A and B are shown apart, each in its own frame.
Chain A
Amino acid sequence: MSEAAPVRDPRPLGPAAYLLCLRGIVWREALRFLQQHARFVAALVRPLIWLFVFAAGFRAVLGVSIVPPYETYILYEVYIAPGLVAMVQLFNGMQSSLSMVYDREMGTMRTLLISPFPRGFLLISKLLAGVAISLLQVYVFLAIAWFWDVRPPLIGYAAVLPALVLSGLMLGALGMLLSSMIKQLENFAGVMNFVIFPMFFASSALYPLWRMNEASPLLYKICVLNPFTYAVELIRFALYGQISWPALAVVAGCGAVFLIAAIMAYSPSKGLIARRGGPGG
């Protein structure tokens, strides 16, 4: 084996090539998403049902007192809107995870993994593509919610963007990590039951944590340990032009941990793929 490069070796891949690759991955994800009209509709209808039906029904039952970042008494709809935004991202993250399992079964994942770019970069690009799609969903949802009297200050719509990117990355990385552990597509129902629902319900998305504490101190502790709570709070504060530093720290920290774990899970040497019995044939 010689270190001397063979005559026809291609030029090394520079930063421009990395950008092209990232752009291509986002572009493909967007194309796919736009073609799956049903998925777009489902992604919107889900939080809207919560907003229109659930929130309306519970408005009378659940009084929400003044909790930061709110400065006045608020309607229940207004309280759960940030939680629903986070739910959109949670579903989107899990949906990407599902599509990665699907891609792996169908083999399309292979075309991504034989790209010469470093695998960590490919996976992060894939995550960013998922986040871009979740942003689209979230802003359409917020636009509709505006007509339903969920009207955060204008500055909030801009301030929430970085928060959404961070929370989207954290939830996407979690999904990616899960996708490396799910062996088959059918197991996605398990993800629904054991990840999405517990994460959503045991969080501050639907009720403030102090209320939870009154109901059950144990549940309160679970909610406090749930990273999803912090995604919700990060989004909630950002929507009102504020930063929740603890939420920011937890979301960034958990995001980094999930991301590193996911990249390791997909790395060729430490990878879980290799230990899982490999391909047939």
Chain B
Amino acid sequence: MLEGSEPLALKIGMVSHAFGERKALDNVSCAIAPSRHCVLLGLNGAGKTTLFSLITRLYDNTSGAIEVFGHDVRRQPQLALRQLGVVFQQRTLDLDLSVLQNLIYHGALHGIPPARAKRRAEEELERLGLAARAGERVRKLSGGQMRRVEIARALLHRPRLLLLDEPTVGLDIDSRQSILDHVRQLCRDQGLAVLWATHLIDEVQPQSQVIVLHRGRVLAEGPRERVVAEAGAGDIREAFSRLTRADDAKGGAKDGDRAA
């Protein structure tokens, strides 16, 4: 297995998307290497969820290309989607079913036999410290526990790229920290590539790659240190506010020619 022969975990090339008049994404390009932890940083309305919707093919990208491990999501959706684990911003568990039933259902959606899905679910839940809650109705779990179940679910079909859209919204500090740690660990130990969308700047890990998305455009992309250095800032928070403020200053001067 040659290192260099492996395609990128995620490659987004010149993707634009508009809802009627409103341009949600404007010529977005970025990439994530396998096993990398990447934080997609942007304020609410920056276009993060739209980007996720395009990657997960809720609807098609009409311009540009999106590839997951070399598979174009429009032309080879099956191969692309099988490599993807997704945790959506909204809670998407069936509240009236048990934790295990939710996970087995997800397994079925990926063609995994119930017995195997159950075994894997128990493994994942064990790792997340939720093994004892497997038989419980999801409704009885706390927000943080639900999130962890959703992560277990996203990993059930053994994807190689994990997408998380604002996964810590509405969680208390402890739950938040435990989810941050868990995902970082997955990335490190299992070689999972991670795209973590957030507006919380302190969720950028020291070794993270950073993509700054603002008003539908990528303002900066690269390892955290480089993004900070290139913005001439002291830390990532300052870099983010400099980048976005400079862009806002350009203000209405919009549509098109962004510096690549």
Which residues of A does B touch, CB under 8 Å? 1-2, 5-10, 12-13, 16-18, 20-21, 23-25, 27-28, 31-32, 35-36, 106-108, 110-118, 122, 268-269, 271, 273-281
Q: Which residues of B contact A107 (CB under 8 A)?
A: 88-92
A116–B77 touching, CB < 8 Å: yes
Closest A residue to B47 by beta carbon equals A281
State A112–B79 Cα separation when bound (angstroms).
16
Q: List 6 A-B contacts (CB under 8 A).
A: A28-B105, A35-B97, A106-B91, A106-B92, A268-B60, A277-B20
Question: Chain B's nearest CB lies how many Å from the CB of A77?
Answer: 36
Known: A6-B6, A268-B59, A274-B60. A32 touches B109 (CB 8 A): no
Q: Name the one of A5, A8, A35, A117 contacting B160, with C-beta atoms under 8 angstroms.
A: A8
B111–A274 touching, CB < 8 Å: no
A281–B108 touching, CB < 8 Å: no
B6–A268 touching, CB < 8 Å: no
* Extra A-B contacts (9), CB below 8 Å, given A20-B114, A110-B90, A278-B50: A20-B112, A21-B110, A32-B96, A106-B90, A107-B89, A268-B74, A269-B59, A281-B46, A281-B49
Size category of the binding interface on chain B: 35 or more
State A266–B1 Cα separation when bound (angstroms).
39
Q: How many A-B residue pairs have CB under 8 A?
A: 149
Known: A114-B81, A117-B111. A27 touches B105 (CB 8 A): yes
Q: Which residues of B contact A13 (CB under 8 A)?
A: 78, 111
Interface code B36-53, partner A: CB below 8 Å = 1, 0 otherwise? 000000001110111001
A27–B108 touching, CB < 8 Å: yes
Question: Chain A's nearest CB lies how many Å from the CB of B89?
Answer: 7
Q: Which residues of A contact B101 (CB under 8 A)?
A: 28, 31
The segment out of B64-72, B182-190, B201-209, B221-229 that lies at the interface is B64-72
Of the listed residues B58, B67, B112, B153, the one surrounded by the most CB atoms of chain A closer than 10 A to its CB is B58
